[in-house]
Chain A
Amino acid sequence: MVSVRLEKVTKKFGKVVAVNNVDLEIEEGEFMALLGPSGSGKSTLLYLIAGIYKPTSGKIFFDDHDVTNLPPRERNVGLVFQNYALYPHMKVYDNIAFPLKIKKVPKEEIRRKVFEVAKLLRIEHLLDRYPGQLSGGQQQRVAIARALVKEPQVLLLDEPLSNLDALLRVSVRSELKRLQKNLGITAIYVTHDQAEAMALADRIAIINEGVIQQVDLPEVVYNRPKNMFVGGFIGNPPMNFVEAGVEYNETVKLIVGEDSVWLPQEYIEILRKLKLQKVVLGFRPEDVLVLKDESQVEPGSSVIRGEIFTVEPMGREVLLTIMIGETMVKVYAPPTQYYSMGDKVFLQINPAKLRLFDPDTTIALEYLVKT
């Protein structure tokens, strides 16, 4: 098994820069999720690692071997394509057996391996069919089987579970993770679904417009997003952003409309260093207490005034959309209270969970002082 390292990798298609100066290291046996919006360069990054595309500049290493100019077949990677890319003229069995046949594996061994992997993915009963006779989810599992059967050093998965129903998805993905750990394969898993990324990955890499935004443990990506893009991309609904002024007195506090927000000590120190006049206040929907009455506000804590715009009951909780001045934020509230449109409310943000960003660079302040 190998580690994968990208050094300053750029891929251009004419004028389009699909992957921009990416530095990324995936450790041996690591399960890395690659998250990003549509068109951000996720598939291109996988194709670069697989060797289908050559980088316009930069280098790719498997362990310490420079594989930048190695053809795909000498890289021993398995790739599950976004659109499956099964061979339509071959039966499922032959689809899965194809990589082994090319390697001239003995017939009996091919048979054994194909059945083994088919059983794992629960497609044994489909081996005799053509891909055209399968559902989308079944085709996806065949594609995964074909990538796994050759026991690759690196497994690349391009949204491999997007077509499975919720139930199957959860079971196949835990199966996949177990498999990956047992075989010790280094894996990169592209997904749109951040819940899936959180559940599966050892680390998450977030990419936007070809640029890697952050690579970190799932909880770090969630709790300490490096910039507003990451905060606004991860989470459902994602992080809320409200513009705020900064007031420097004996202490440092934020001004949102007519309200003041007290800051934790960490941020007071950072702001004193940076001396910003304006920041963006970020907070997650679940880190807010929604109070209907000013009398509920604990003395010493700070609140922001807002007005309820919409109310969406979700069962376990209620999702409220609240206007703070001109800004819309979404927050979760317990369903024990009754909320209706137009209600004035007071938002008490958990000070330990609030994040501050530089409005110019969109970078989180704590990362600004680190570098």
Chain B
Amino acid sequence: MMQLWDVEVKSRKIEIVLILAVLLASLPLILNYGLLILSSFSTEMVTNLDPTSFRPTIDNWILLFEGRLSVTGGVREDVVRYTINTAIVALGVAGVVVLVSVMAGYAMSRMNFKGRSLIMQLILLLHAFPGVALIIAVYLIFRATLPSDIELARIYSFAYVIVARAALEIPMSIWLIKGFFDRVPWEVEWAAIIDGASRLRVWREVMLPMVKPGIAAIAIFAFLAGWEDLIYVRTFLFDRTLATYIESNINVEFAYMPLLAAAGTLYLLPTILFFILTQRLLLETSTGGIKG
């Protein structure tokens, strides 16, 4: 009994030490984001770790959604519109990535065809290319295919940026989701086939639910990639997103920093939210029923 207690105390100590270490390591990050969020609710930036500079207000947020860049007036900006644009791009990227990766990943995992491993290696190679390196070629295709009608071109630019940005995410996502499919035992799929399900139905009703954590993971990564993207959005999208909006204002002389802090917080929000909300799903390993 004593010994057990002893062991428990020991492990708790270790746990506390570990938590402290993790906290210490992430302190600069937490501080950074903390100050940013704090500043967005203050009339002055809270940057020098000086609590007296914090004067609470929600004006920044009101101004932000009124679309103004300074307290005194400034250029009107449609921040709500930008937020919606950002969401369109992010959701679009997530949608395309999930659709393509889930199908390709299943094929890579389950179907036996010539050149499969070659394709897998090429995909990995593709992933190694940074998006910036490809952007000139991608831009040339964009110029060549852009419709002349301006309204159409605007819509086209959305579609184009979504597909182009998704293309950067897809290689890694295919690898990731293939790993999830690989872990589903063949027997489960066979069981469904013997039960009379068609290949498509097996895929939809048996395979997909079993790789749900994987789908969630690639969806989140793709969503965030789309939400945060700056280079592709700035190059191709006619409209603005939160990223390009903030970027274009950082160096502007009349920029009112606490207001930008509010914009930055808004920009960060999905990242934080997603990780908090989906942490469990991401960590969840597919439940039992598969013993070998």
Contact = CB atoms under 8 A, between A and B. Distances in A.
Given A81-B187, A83-B187, A102-B201, A88 B289 contact: yes
A85 interface: yes
Nearest to B208: A89
B194 A52 contact: yes
B214 to A, nearest CB: 13
B193 interface: yes
Interface string B235-275: 00000000000000000000000000000000000000000
Contacts of A82: 187
A73 interface: yes
A79 B188 CA distance: 11
Contacts of A132: 287-289
A150 interface: yes
Contacts, number: 93
Interface string B272-292: 000000000000001111111
B196 A103 contact: yes
Given A81-B187, A89-B210, A102 B288 contact: no
22 contacts: A52-B193, A71-B193, A72-B193, A73-B198, A77-B194, A79-B190, A81-B187, A83-B185, A83-B187, A83-B290, A85-B187, A86-B188, A86-B191, A87-B188, A87-B192, A87-B289, A90-B209, A103-B196, A130-B287, A130-B288, A139-B289, A150-B195
B290 A85 contact: yes
A260 to B, nearest CB: 53
A267 interface: no
Given A52-B194, A86-B290, A130-B289, 16 more contacts: A72-B190, A73-B195, A73-B197, A81-B187, A81-B191, A85-B185, A85-B187, A85-B191, A87-B188, A87-B289, A88-B290, A98-B195, A131-B288, A132-B287, A132-B289, A136-B291
Interface string B174-210: 0000000000010110111111111001000010011
Contacts of B194: 50-52, 72-73, 77-79
Given A52-B190, A83-B185, A85-B188, A99 B291 contact: no
Contacts of B234: none
Secondary structure type dominating chain A contacts: mixed
B212 interface: yes
Most buried by B among A84, A131, A150: A84
A73 B185 CA distance: 19
A71 B290 CA distance: 25
A146 interface: yes
A99 B190 CA distance: 12
Q: How many interface residues does chain A have, given as a range?
A: 20 to 34
Interface in B205-239: 206, 209-210, 212
A54 to B, nearest CB: 13
B195 A89 contact: no
A102 B201 CA distance: 9
Contacts of B185: 83, 85
A146 B23 CA distance: 50
Contact of A99 (B188, B195, B286, B290): B195
Contacts of B187: 81-83, 85
B209 A73 contact: no
Contacts of B188: 85-88
A84 B291 contact: yes
Given A52-B193, A102-B195, A88 B291 contact: no
Contacts of A89: 209-210, 212, 286-287
Interface in A309-342: none
Contacts of A47: 190
Contacts of B287: 88-89, 130-132
Contacts of B292: 83
A130 B185 CA distance: 17
Interface string A62-106: 000000000111000111011111111110000000110011000
